[in-house]
Each structure stands twice: as structure tokens, then as C-alpha cells.
Amino acid sequence: MSTTAVPLRPIAKGSLTRLWIGVAAVALAAAGLAWAGQQGVKMSPAGFLAHNSGEAGVITTPSGLQYKVLEEGEGPSPTTADVALVGYKGTLLDGTVFDENPQAPMPVDGVVPGFSEGLQKMKKGGKYRLWIPPQLGYGEQATGPIPANSVLVFDIQLHDFKSRADIMRMQQMMQQQGAVPAQ
């Protein structure tokens, strides 16, 4: 058996150093990209809403409210003269929860305009997700944990609603029966 010798060229001076510098540069670039990906791209409220409007099932009203029907309810929808019993979870775009309640009575006209508009589209038993633009939420005013100019995201379930007149009649009946002290 015969072996053929292949001559190897010597490595040029400094080539190994350049190779390691290149490997280090690629590693740093990859780490920088990974860090940037974890930070997420911060969109303006208008940019987010424009992007979100193209998502499947998202409906944008003329006022700018965006909503998605997660589960359709049945029957009529509440009006501004009603008090709704809802379960809700309010978050910011980054997922920070700022308010949550499984069962809260709310006057339909006593909440931010976007929430009110969304409630008036729902039916009993329905579940919706609302994206409320700043102008229909708190606008340029920071409120508690909610920064100024925030898009508010609400998951809402409409349990029931009654007219204010019905609620007043029920309170009067209970007062007459002595169940609720007079105010």
C-alpha cells in the first residue's frame, strides 16, 4: 500500500487572530440581536391599532374602538340607561394587568367611552376583547398604573344588565320591606 503525501501550506501570520476576532464579532452581533428581540419593538398606539386592525376577527368602529367577539351572547344589548354586571380584566399592551374583577356592576355611561361603546355592542353571556385607543380611554392623562396615551385591552364577559329604573324600583321595594336602610 502506498501513501501519497500532500504538502500543507503554512498558515499566514495573524490569520488565526483574525479568525478569532471574526468569531467574537459574530457572537457579539448575535447576542445584540437576541437582546433586542427580548426588548420587543415598541409601537406607538396608532401603529399598534393599525397593525391590529388587520388581524382576523378584529372589527374597528368609526370612533376607533377595536373589538373581537370571543363568544357571542343572546338577546338585546345594554344601552347608556342601563347598569351592566360584567366580569373583566384590563391590561396594557405589554400584558401588565391594571384592573380585574370577576363580577362588577357598572353604569354603561359611567365608564370610559371605549368601554361604554364596547358594552353596547355585547349581548348577555357574550365575551369580547376590546382594544381602546387613548382618545376613548384616559388620553394624555396618566391614571394610577396606566401611563398617558395607553391603548387599554379589556377581556369582558357581560353577565347581565338592568335598566336604572328597574334597579331603583327594586331598591324601593327592598326599603319598603325593611331589607335596605333608607339613604
Query: What would the pLDDT profile of 133-172 be if each residue is shown by its tens digit?
Result: 999 999 999 999 999 999 999 999 999 999 988 988 988 9
Amino acid at 156: I
pLDDT more than 90, % of the chain: 66
Q: Using an 8 Å Cβ cutoff, are 72 and 126 in contact?
A: yes
CA pair distance 151, 98, nearest whole angstrom: 12
Cell numbers at residue 75, please?
338577546
Query: What would the pLDDT profile of 101-114 be if each residue is shown by its tens digit?
Result: 999 999 999 999 99
Boundaries of domain holding 64: 49-172
**96 part of a folded domain:** yes
Q: Using an 8 Å Cβ cutoff, are 65 and 143 in contact?
A: no
**86 part of a folded domain:** yes
Beta strands 66-71 and 82-91 are unpaired
Please tell me what DSSP assigns to residue 143: B
Least confident of 30-34, 70-74, 92-96, 108-112: 30-34
**15 part of a folded domain:** no
The CATH number linked to 76 is 3.10.50.40
**63 part of a folded domain:** yes
Question: How many other CB atoms sit within 10 Å of the CB of residue 165?
Answer: 10
**37 part of a folded domain:** no
**12 part of a folded domain:** no
The count of domains in the chain is 1
